[in-house]
Amino acid sequence: MMVRIFGRKSYGLAAADLPDLAALKRAARRRRQRVPVGAIILLGPLVIFGLFGPWIAPHDIMVVDSANALRPPAWMEGGSWSYLLGTDKFGRDLLSVLMVGARTSLIVCVVGVLFAGIIGVVLGLLAGYFGKWIDNLIMRIVDVVMSIPGILFMLLLAAALGPGIKTIIISMGLLMWCGYTRVMRGEVLSIKQRDFVAMAKVMGIGQSRILIRHILPSVGSTVIVMATLQAGGAIMMEGGLSFLGLGVQPPYTTWGRIIAENRNVMTTAWWVPVFAGLLLIMAIWGFNVLGDWLRDVMDPKMRRR
Amino acid sequence: MRRFIVKRLLLAVVTLLGVSLIVFVAARLTGDPVLLFAPTTATEQQLDELRAKMGLDKPIPVQFLIFLRDAARGDFGISLRYSQPAMTLALKRLGPTLELAAYAFILGLLGGVLLGITSATRPGSLRERAGTTFAMLGLSVPGFWLAVILMLVFAVKLHWFPTSGREGALSRILPTISVAWVAVAQIMRVTRSAMLEVLGSDYIKMARIKGLRERVVIWKHALRNALVPVLGIAGFLVAMLIGGLALVESVFRWPGIGSLLIEAVFARDFPLVQAGVLLVSAVVIFINLAVDLLYGIVDPRIRYE
């Protein structure tokens, strides 16, 4: 109403006074939402196939049957309902290959994120709590690692150690810890000013005990949120590296590797990159949605960063 | 200001040294690094000569100094595959990569800022929802997969664009879109949250009370300050774009440094991998330095941190 006096449209001031009302409302709704339905649906295939893939796969993927190669999906001409999503160039049932491949993707992602998380949290705690030269040293290392584009770092390690599942996990661990360290350091810097830490110090509790028993639990929710958001990135990186053929090596397979194996036939067999890619996107998207939901539920103050 | 510049320059040098150390250590991870640098056909005598030349008989710190001395001269050894100095080869392929990165950055900036502003100024609208959904999608769709799909649809099926190579303006379009995608999403997120913050500030209220047209308020007064955080992530974006390009280049057979590195890893051409990784990291560090200095000029508040 007030704005009318100046003869201008009224939405201007209202928008300024209540920034992003819709997003706040959505966040509030999400907080009330007990179960993250979207995330569960998106992550369903990764988790279910990852855990049970080899048992629920309708076909054996170790059998190479060239007579069956490059069958289109069931609903297309030449397709068969026995091969729902068609077959790849080796004549393997695409759905079965995708189901089995989910396991390696899931393992790489979980182990990689854990590895990075442990390094990152420990270094972040040290940097934030002790400050001074320790902080300086650790943050300089962060700068260094951040200035090498991730995929190039992975290529460097693949060249040095040879490609394989171990190399991916090691390079993920050595790459992705930076994010945790930065956030952890900031959190610790503010937490260590708080009274309960001062109290613990006054009571003569040792530094390692203060770090582990008093500071670490206060940053736990942040770590979980970050790990979830990073899991999507891990899936994407593994997919990219395997797509190049420099990721996991046979007999293991992952969604990225399935696309890679069929790269030379993909002009006809479009269904391989499409379905494998859709699963990849669902998993990454699912982790992003889950991370946002966790952030709203566990750590409302992180929402507006 | 001068102190800030000197400090920032020193930091860049330290970071570059750190990257060199990582590249150096990577070669030592394998056990006997001389095998990485010699052709597989080398005789035992040739290996010994190379060992002596690379100083591998000396203690590790001395080896690192030798490595730094050679690196400063641009000497990373001879590429095993092409029998040419590794750095010369890498430099030749840097141009095409930077070209695509520049296009992608411009596209990302235009798209991201536009989307960010529309979604920040119309809270609750359909456009706002579409914008945030797009941002989520942008972070969830791997660039290499998008490249494959774009190629299948627009190059293979519709013949609108060439499938590969670097000839003519049309060959630039698909690779640029594939990498710019993520940049659009990232820039949109940053612009949006910066815009929301700026729109709530007093000087914007003042501008509105003065009766300025909404268009002027947003595009002239608010945008100027909302762009500062976008500049802040520019360095990170460039690293991300170059990393993403490695995969996209391999899809479109773009003669950039990414595809060169991937070939080098396959050929186990370690001198070339080292030169390439160090070169790209140096570019990223340099761009980060430039961005930070620019940041200091654009936003005088950060100078005295």
Q: Do A157 and B36 touch (CB under 8 A)?
A: no
pLDDT beyond 60 at B305: no
Give the minimum alpha-carbon distance from A204 to chain B in angstroms, rounded to a whole number: 34
Q: Name the one residue in this structure whose structure tokens are 């990414």.
A: B258
Could you give the angle at which helices B86-121 and B270-298 cross, rounded to 10 degrees?
40
Interface check for A142 against chain B (CB to CB < 8 A): the answer is no
CA distance B94 to B74: 15
B123/A151 touch (CB, cutoff 8 Å), yes or no: no
Q: Assign residue A86 a region: left if phi > 0, alpha if psi is -120 to 50, beta otherwise? A: left
Query: Using CB atoms, which residue from A7, A16, A151 is nearest to B204?
Result: A16
Give contacts of A288 with chain B, Cβ < 8 Å: 136, 139-140
> Is the pLDDT confidence value at A10 over 50?
no
A259 CA: distance to closest CA in chain B (Å): 9
| 3-state DSSP assignment of residue B295 | helix
Q: Which chain B residues are within 8 Å of A18, Cβ to Cβ? A: 123
Of the partner residues B139, B156, B277, the one whose CB lies closest to the CB of residue A152: B277
Q: Domain for residue B47, yes or no?
A: no
Is the pLDDT assigned to residue A74 strictly greater than 70? Answer: no
- Interchain pair B26, A12: CB under 8 A: no
Q: Which of B80, B145, B206 to mutate to test the interface with A (most CBs of A within 10 A)?
A: B145
Query: Which of A18, A155, A281 is the closest to B141 by Cβ?
Result: A281
The confidence band for A4, taking pLDDT boundaries of 50, 70 and 90, is very low
C-beta of residue B117 within 8 angstroms of C-beta of residue B220: no
Q: Which of B144, B266, B268 sits opposite A240 (nearest CB)?
A: B144
Domain assignment of residue B248, yes or no: yes
* Nearest-neighbour CA in chain A from B62: distance (Å): 21
**Alpha-carbon gap, residue A210 to A187, rounded angstroms:** 15
Calculate how close chain B gets to A44, using CA atoms only, in Å. 16
| B26: confidence class by pLDDT, cuts 50, 70, 90 | confident
Q: Which of A61, A63, A113, A89 is nearest to A254 (CA)?
A: A61
> Which chain A residues have a beta carbon less than 8 Å from that of B18?
140-141, 143-144
> Is residue B122 one of the residues assigned to a domain?
yes
Tens of pLDDT, residue by residue over A133-173, are: 888 888 888 888 887 888 888 888 888 888 888 888 888 88
Identity of residue A104: T
Q: Is residue B204 part of a domain?
A: yes
* Cα–chain center distance at B51: 34
pLDDT tens digits for range B147-195: 888 888 887 778 787 777 777 777 787 888 888 888 888 888 888 888 8
Q: What is the CATH number of the domain that holds B97?
A: 1.10.3720.10
d(CA A172, CA A170): 5
> Is residue B220 in a domain?
yes
| Of B17 and B126, more confident | B17
Structural domain boundaries enclosing B256:
93-267+279-298
Confidence of residue A6 (pLDDT cuts 50, 70, 90): very low
pLDDT score at B243: 82
Q: In three state form, how does the secondary structure of chain A look?
A: CHHHHHCCCCHHHHHHHCCCHHHHHHHHHHHHCCCCHHHHHHHHHHHHHHHHHHHHCCCCCCCCCHHHCCCCCCCCCCCCCCCCCCECCCCCEHHHHHHHHHHHHHHHHHHHHHHHHHHHHHHHHHHHHHCHHHHHHHHHHHHHHHCCCHHHHHHHHHHHHCCCHHHHHHHHHHHHHHHHHHHHHHHHHHHCCCHHHHHHHHCCCCHHHHHHHHHHHHHHHHHHHHHHHHHHHHHHHHHHHHHCCCCCCCCCCCHHHHHHHCHHHCCCCCHHHHHHHHHHHHHHHHHHHHHHHHHHHHCHHHCCC
Tokens of B186: 């990232």
Lowest-pLDDT choice from A7-21, B174-188, B267-281: A7-21
pLDDT above 70 covers what percent of chain B?
A: 95
Place of tokens 């190629």: B151
- Residue B187, φ and ψ in degrees, nearest 5: -65, -35
Q: Is residue B22 part of a domain?
A: no
pLDDT over 70 (residue B279): yes
Q: Chain B contact for A43, CB < 8 A?
A: no
- Percent of chain B at pLDDT above 90? 0
Burial of A138 (0-12, 13-18, 19+ CB in 10 A): buried
Which of A4, A5, A42, A144 is the best residue to mutate to test the B interface, defined by the most B CB atoms within 10 Å of its own CB? Answer: A144
Beta-carbon separation of B18 and A144 below 8 A: yes
Confidence of residue A305 (pLDDT cuts 50, 70, 90): very low
- pLDDT confidence of residue A5: 34
* Type of residue numbered A182: R
Tally of domains in chain B = 1
Q: For A140, which residue in chain B has the nearest alpha carbon?
A: B15
Disruptive mutation site among A4, A6, A20, A138 for chain B (greatest number of B CBs within 10 Å): A20
How far is A194 from B86, CA to CA, in rounded Å? 54
Ordered DSSP codes for B27-43: HHTTS-THHHHS-TT--
Question: Which residues on adjacent β-strands are paired with residue A87?
Answer: A93
Determine the residue among B25, B32, B148, B206 to mutate to test chain A binding: the one whose Cβ has the most chain A Cβ atoms within 10 Å.
B148
Query: For residue A127, what pLDDT is reported?
Result: 86
pLDDT, averaged across chain A: 77
Write down the pLDDT at residue A1. 31
Q: Is A137 on the interface with B (CB under 8 A)?
A: no
Q: Is B81 helix (H, G, I), strand (E, B) or coil?
A: coil
Nearest-CA distance from B245 to chain A in Å?
Answer: 10
Q: Is the CB of A232 inside 8 Å of chain B's CB atoms?
A: yes
Residue type, A250: P
Higher pLDDT, B160 or A174: A174
Model confidence at A79, pLDDT cuts 50, 70, 90, reads low
pLDDT in tens, B86-112: 788 888 888 888 888 889 899 988 888
Q: What is the largest CA-CA distance in chain A?
A: 79
Of A13, A144, A259, the CB nearest to B15: A144
In a domain, B170, yes or no: yes
User: Is pLDDT above 50 for A15?
Assistant: no
Q: What SS3 state is found at B3? A: helix
CA A128 to chain centre: 25
B271 with B86: CB under 8 angstroms? Answer: yes
| Residue B26 tokens, joined | 């990577």
Q: How far is A224 from chain B (nearest CA, A)?
A: 19
Local structure of residue B58 (DSSP, 8 states): S
**CA distances (Å), origin B97, targets A126, B141, B168, B275:** 38, 21, 16, 15
Q: Does A245 contact B266 at a Cβ distance shorter than 8 Å?
A: yes
Q: Which residues of A touch B270 (CB under 8 A)?
A: 159-160
φ, ψ for residue A87, nearest 5 deg? -125, 160
Point out which residues pair with B78 in neighbouring strands: B85
Contacts of B208 in chain A (CB under 8 A): 3, 8, 12-13, 16
SS3 at position B280: helix
Peptide bond into B162 cis (omega under 30): no
- Quickly count: other Cβ atoms within 10 Å of residue B151's Cβ: 24
B43 within domain boundaries: no
